[in-house]
Amino acid sequence: MQHPMVPLLSEKYSAIDIGSSPFAQHGQITKERTRQRKDTILQLIEKTVASTVFLEMECINGQPLGFGSGFFVQHNQIATNFHVIAGASRGTAKLFGKPYDIEGITASDVENDLAVLKVSDSSVQPLPLGDSDAVQLGDTVYVFGNPKESEGAFSDGTISGSRAVGIEKLLQMTAPISLGGSGGPVLNEKGEVIGLAFVTLEDGQNLNCAIPSKHLKSLISKPEVVKPLTEEEQSVSAETHFYRGNEKYLMRVYQDAITAYNEAIRLQPDFANAYVNRGLAKEKLGQHESAIMDYSSAIEIDSTLAGAYNNRGSAQRRLGQYFLALEDLSTAIQLDPRYVKAYVNRGNAKNSLGHPNEALEDFNTALALDPDSAEAYNNRGVAKAALMQLPDAIEDFNTAIELNPELVNAYYSRGIAKFIIGKNIREAEADLQTALKLAKKIDDANLKSNVELALSRLAENAYRDRKGSKGNSIKLFITYTRQDEKAKDKLITYLDVMKSERLINIWYDNEILPGDRWRDSISKNLAQVDILLYLVSANSLASENCNRELAEALNTNIRVVPIILEHCDWLDHYLSDFQVLPRTGKPIDAWQDEDEGWQSTIAGIREVIHQIQTQAASPSDISQKEVLADLKYQHGNFLMVLRKIEEAIKAYSDVIELNPHYSAAYNNRGVVYTNKGEYDLAIRDFNIAIDLNPNDSFAYNNRGNAYNDISKVDKAIKDFNTAIDLKPDYSNAYNNRGNAYVKKHSFDKAIEDFNTAIKLDPSFAGAYNSRGAAYHEKGNLEKAIEDFSEAIKLDSNYVSPYINRGRVRGRKGMISEAIGDFSKVIELRTDYADAYYDRGVAHGKKRDFDLAIVDYTKAIQLKPIYTEAYCNRGSAYFSKGEFNLAIADYTKAIELDPDSGEVYCNRGLAWLVLQNWNKARADIASAKRIGLDIVDWFHKLYKSVENFERIIGAKLPEDIAVMLTS
């Protein structure tokens, strides 16, 4: 029988998007360190790497099962971990690209997680086995792996103890094991294998271990009997699934880790550590309530498991259940008084309750137990910051970063602290940018979001005026050479607007009067200015006078703003330490339109002026109550960027109680309410902020965003208009107004706003993405693709333009290119359900139904209420002739959305194919009752009843035929 067609729930791609570890491994895995080894060590490395393979295993259906490392113990035998190969039907060993087919398995030891594989004879030199019983505490070891992404990975360390896992003891070591390094050799200084690399997770701790080589010796001493890999498929134990889950967790494939832990628990329902680690994986996916249930199950099985209490307490703290968290964390400490992580987590809970002094006691205890705990230093710094002991907090963050240069939270917290105390804003921004880079590297979406918010708040606070500061004009000093006089005159022309606003006064050497001593006059006026504008050219860099003025400015802490006029070697000058204008570093004379270069420069100068005005009020002019209000306001900002929502609201409320006229506190509290979705409270606060300060462009912009979120688009546009009137260079306000126009389908107006936002900030990736979305809505797909591509060029980790470009390419029939874009989204965000759904639609367009089903299944795993994914997976099954599976998916889709006529019709078609006339009749009737035009729908698919009957090879009952045609 020919399979009939069935439509996807959405033939078109989804709407365009215009939206904006306890297991962590310490140490570096790198070949770089090997360069510092002696020649003998280099020889050891070369020899070992030449014998260490990458193993890639497949299931019986050809799907990837997993990968790991192994090494030659004989010319035709490779040793590895059993869990690497368990359940595989076939596999390949690769050595620097050369494949060796695995012919079978000669020996295995499930209890010790060992297997010996048979391959064809090779010329590879096997590695000698050493005496693992002779290994002593402190012995140097070398760990080798051949992970997929980094052939020949190497690390070193020492034996730090032994660890009981089940009934066996493993060697614990400080040398880190690379992802995919399980099964690789662990060598002593003689170059002998004393163990196989093995990563275990116990009580939430990541432990790098080695399975003693004595167990491997006993395996390879047995007579060789080659068995097919498939004979081992039934031997997959709970422990094997557990180990596999641990590896998936370390690879940050958390849903796959959960699947492995599920299987471990199914095989061994009292496997406490499997519940613990499954809980940790669920937390990574934001499933905190479900994680708590897993920790509770572990505790029921083993009430002495300190790690389960610690992790449950940590999860409860994230849900705001602070007192329950304290109880569990205290129990963990009672069970293990040296449990450093439990002290750190209890300190965090106390800090969240607003008891930073008590939190400090726990952090101090943690550091007494482990003076090298970067996490404890970082969190102690957070507690000190909550007490507004910011310089001391920064010292703790510094120490944390020294101990762990990749501790993203420490950079994040240090950047915030530096910003709050006004200590070198460039340094604060640099810390936050480092934090953002690390958050992207470890694929932590929540942390990335927090850092991006912090950067946004830093930028907005840099603009915000303090009460009464607008009357204080900022004094500018221009350093230039006579050869650049035209550029100086152009700059002054552009500065005239700010001068007329009484924001600035300008001084340059034309104001030296006859008879004045030239050098004295310059020095006197330079000492009185706030900002030195240095016009950078080849001439000024070579000018003794310009460099003397620069030195005087730096010695007196005057803000220096370099303006790049032309291509020159300024990066080799000490000006390279400064943020330059234009921000991109592109010289003004290199802009296609130099006026645009000057406009970008003036926008940057205006930003610096606002920042200085923010810090300009003299403490002697402010009452003690106002000083306290300011401190609490900054503390509220600190809490907001840490996403401590309730604490931030309380802080801003305290500010308002101290100073009911503090407009910025109302504005920021409104932002927090907006983030919570409490729009009425947010709008109330923005209203008050505007009443107190009618010239606050940020309050109008923020209120506009709140109105836009609740679809009061006209009110939103009115607010964006006011924000722009107050601040004509406000690129975000133009972008936001454009998004509001898109909601009104006023696409030309929207595009005009996006154009302005881009003109004001040519590096604004979000504006390009928004404009692309508008072009898409207008049907101009080519321009949409151009804009999405430009957004990607500006920020290669920006997810929205990838998925948008993929959807537009799908509409244009560029299916392979669309799949490439969706795959990139998944690479950047493995938890993005819509990306799997979109890629599934694209695979369906190519009639790659198996791949489509895999993607829809993943989308459903990530988003269990994904109606469209169930429907489309049902359609994929339908197209494959698997009608019962299709019906099951359509039934689930109807359960989730009982008002979808198309899904009833799809299921009805499946019943027709199966000749279940009664159920088909009922589904078609339901679709008609819902309001679907069944006749039109059926005609578009099959043209006629006769054609459909020919396809399915059966005659329809007359009444059903009538339902489909009239």
Given this model, what pLDDT does residue 166 score? Answer: 56
Residue-wise over 368-379: b if at least 16 C-beta within 10 A, else e?
Answer: eebeebbbbbbb
Highest mean pLDDT pick, 35-44, 102-111, 441-450: 102-111
What does the pLDDT average to over 73-78?
90
Given this model, what pLDDT does residue 400 score? Answer: 92
Is the pLDDT score of 14 beyond 70? no
Given this model, what pLDDT does residue 464 score? Answer: 43
Is the pLDDT score of 505 beyond 80? yes
What does the pLDDT average to over 416-430?
71
Under a CB-based contact definition with an 8 Å cutoff, are residues 17 and 803 in contact? yes
Last residue of a domain, one of 585, 614, 643: 614
Higher pLDDT, 185 or 474: 185
Which residues are bridge partners to 202 per DSSP? 205
Which residues are bridge partners to 102 per DSSP? 119
566 lies in some domain? yes
Given this model, what pLDDT does residue 451 score? Answer: 66
Last residue of a domain, one of 205, 236, 267: 236
Given this model, what pLDDT does residue 26 score? Answer: 27
Higher pLDDT, 553 or 788: 788
Under a CB-based contact definition with an 8 Å cutoff, are residues 187 and 159 in contact? no
68 lies in some domain? yes
648 lies in some domain? no
How big is the chain, counted in residues? 966
58 lies in some domain? yes
Question: DSSP code of 203?
Answer: T
* pLDDT single digits (tens) 506-538: 887 777 777 677 777 888 888 788 899 999 999
Is the pLDDT score of 13 beyond 70? no
The domain tally of the chain equals 2
d(CA 602, CA 706): 30
What does the pLDDT average to over 624-632?
61
What does the pLDDT average to over 308-334?
89
Question: DSSP code of 581?
Answer: B
Provide the CA 477 distance to its chain's centre, in angstroms.
Answer: 42
Question: DSSP code of 64?
Answer: E
Given this model, what pLDDT does residue 683 score? Answer: 93
d(CA 818, CA 807): 7
* pLDDT single digits (tens) 147-157: 654 456 778 88
* pLDDT single digits (tens) 564-599: 999 988 877 777 778 889 877 889 998 888 888 888
Inter-CA distances, 748 with 774, 776, 854, Å: 8, 12, 40
936 lies in some domain? no
d(CA 797, CA 587): 26
Given this model, what pLDDT does residue 666 score? Answer: 92
Please spell the DSSP secondary structure of 641-676, one letter per residue: HTT-HHHHHHHHHHHHHH-TT-HHHHHHHHHHHHHH
Question: Which of 9-13, 654-658, 733-737 has the least mean pLDDT?
Answer: 9-13
Given this model, what pLDDT does residue 19 score? Answer: 37
* pLDDT single digits (tens) 332-385: 999 999 999 999 999 988 887 778 888 899 999 999 999 988 999 999 998 888
What residues contact residue 677 under an 8 Å CB cut-off, 6+ apart?
Answer: none
Helix, strand or coil, per DSSP, at residue 210: strand
698 lies in some domain? no
To the nearest 10 degrees (0 to 180), the angle between helices 815-828 and 833-845 is: 160
Helix, strand or coil, per DSSP, at residue 463: helix
Under a CB-based contact definition with an 8 Å cutoff, are residues 77 and 106 in contact? yes
d(CA 722, CA 697): 7
Given this model, what pLDDT does residue 725 score? Answer: 93
Inter-CA distances, 45 with 143, 435, 811, 929, Å: 10, 34, 52, 73
* pLDDT single digits (tens) 201-234: 665 556 788 999 999 988 887 777 788 877 654 4
What does the pLDDT average to over 924-947?
88
Q: CB-hemisphere CA count at 13 Å for 696?
A: 29
Q: CB-hemisphere CA count at 13 Å for 592?
A: 2
Under a CB-based contact definition with an 8 Å cutoff, are residues 669 and 706 in contact? no
d(CA 672, CA 398): 29
* CATH code at position 493: 3.40.50.10140
Is the pLDDT score of 804 beyond 80? yes
Given this model, what pLDDT does residue 463 score? Answer: 41
Q: What tokens does 452 get?
A: 């991006």
Q: Are strands 140-145 and 153-165 parallel, antiparallel or unpaired?
A: antiparallel
Q: What tokens does 15 get?
A: 């709407």
Which residue has 């009110």 as its token pair? 715
* pLDDT single digits (tens) 83-131: 888 888 888 888 877 888 888 889 888 888 899 999 987 788 899 999 9
Radius of gyration of the chain (CA): 33
Is the pLDDT score of 7 beyond 50? no
Of 318, 279, 322, residue with least CA distance to 299: 279
Given this model, what pLDDT does residue 628 score? Answer: 60
Given this model, what pLDDT does residue 456 score? Answer: 55
What does the pLDDT average to over 156-161?
84
What residues contact residue 187 under an 8 Å CB cut-off, 6+ apart?
Answer: 44, 48, 127, 130, 141, 142, 144, 193, 194
pLDDT classification of 842: cutoffs 50, 70, 90 = very high
Given this model, what pLDDT does residue 641 score? Answer: 60
pLDDT classification of 36: cutoffs 50, 70, 90 = very low
- The strand order across the sheet containing 474-479 reads 504-507, 474-479, 531-536, 559-564
d(CA 400, CA 403): 5
Question: Which of 340-349, 447-456, 701-710 has the least mean pLDDT?
Answer: 447-456
Q: What tokens does 431 get?
A: 């810390």
Under a CB-based contact definition with an 8 Å cutoff, are residues 295 and 276 in contact? yes
573 lies in some domain? yes
What does the pLDDT average to over 594-606?
85
What does the pLDDT average to over 740-764?
91
Question: Which of 350-359, 397-406, 775-784 has the least mean pLDDT?
Answer: 350-359
Q: Are strands 153-165 and 531-536 parallel, antiparallel or unpaired?
A: unpaired
* pLDDT single digits (tens) 865-918: 999 999 999 999 998 989 999 999 999 999 999 988 889 989 998 999 899 999
Mean pLDDT of the chain: 83
* pLDDT single digits (tens) 485-503: 999 988 988 888 777 667 7
Which residue has 């609201």 as its token pair? 649
* CATH code at position 198: 2.40.10.120
Using a pLDDT cut of 70, give the percent of the chain over it: 87
Given this model, what pLDDT does residue 24 score? Answer: 24
Last residue of a domain, one of 577, 594, 614: 614
Given this model, what pLDDT does residue 147 score? Answer: 62
731 lies in some domain? no
Of 106, 107, 102, residue with least CA distance to 119: 102
Is the pLDDT score of 738 beyond 80? yes
Is the pLDDT score of 165 beyond 80? no
Which residue has 């698919």 as its token pair? 941
H-helix segments, 761-900: 765-778, 781-794, 799-811, 815-828, 833-845, 849-862, 867-879, 883-896
* pLDDT single digits (tens) 867-881: 999 999 999 999 898
Q: What is the largest CA-CA distance in the chain?
A: 111
Number of helices followed by number of strands (H, E) in the chain = 42, 16
H-helix segments, 442-531: 445-463, 485-500, 518-526
Supply the range of the domain harboring residue 494.
469-614
Given this model, what pLDDT does residue 453 score? Answer: 59
Given this model, what pLDDT does residue 205 score? Answer: 55
Question: DSSP code of 271?
Answer: -
